[in-house]
Structure 1
Amino acid sequence: MPRRDLFYKLTWLAVGGAVVSAAAAAVRMLFPKVFFEPPMKFRAGVPSDYQPGAVSERWKKEWRVWMVRTEKGLFALSATCTHLGCTPVWLEAENRFQCPCHGSAYTPEGINVEGPAPRPLERFRITLDRSGQIVVDKRRVFRQEWGEWNHPESILRL
């Protein structure tokens, strides 16, 4: 076989391989590794599980949510710092949330009062189902700076 024919066949083989690889990559993108989306809703017990003036860390590890009950009602507060996404800790003795990464601090209501955090913590939709169970839906986020903390689903009035 002449060298020119060999080079011609190798070139077309390389082009064909590139086309097949690109097509395989495109098809692979249609089927993600995760075939399900993790749940974003959970049941958080009944209102009597949460004492007035208290912050519950029961759902922090699994859902990154604090349940906070104030005189205004009960709300589900995001346990994600608005600065860089770290997980703040609840300091009961100081009555505030403190981010260990860069020192941002928040009131029990989630308002940023110290450090580089650009805005308050987010709240999640909180409702009661027919059986009286609290349902927290993390798909619906309420931001204070947009005036959404006044939305009826951002707080459960008790």
Structure 2
Amino acid sequence: MHAARYPLTAIAALSALAACSAEGGDGISRDTEPFSGIGEGEVIEVSGTEPFWAMTIDQSKGAAAYSTPENIDGERFAIARFAGNNGLGFTGTLEGGDPVTVTITPGECRDGMSDFTYPFTATAEIGGRDLKGCAFTDSQGREGPGAA
């Protein structure tokens, strides 16, 4: 019995096509379009508890403001947006050099401190510190008593 021989370039081309397929090797179809659930002009409000923190991401200005109880006025910094398959990512750097990475994904979220329900979950890494929270936008608000 002889093994079939294929030129190395043909094998490489087939591998590349398989990698570009919208269907994984496990037969499950995967969405390859960037996340579009939050418009590029929307302002995103993010907050978390334990520890308390908040961030306002103004995409139209390419800027964010990060605040904590120790720094109520917050610190403003430039951000860059990345739309993945199931959410958004934002990166930036605080004045002191601490890197900031924020990820917003769709999914009901509760902060544990209020009666609000948020349409997005959020995670942030700020200077090596992992934070969890919830998010809403100016067009996709939170729900609950007194929600605006």
Larger-Rg structure: 1
TM-score calculated relative to the size of structure 2: 0.28
Q: By percentage of residues, which structure has more helix?
A: 1
Q: By percentage of residues, which structure has more strand?
A: 2
TM-score calculated relative to the size of structure 1: 0.27
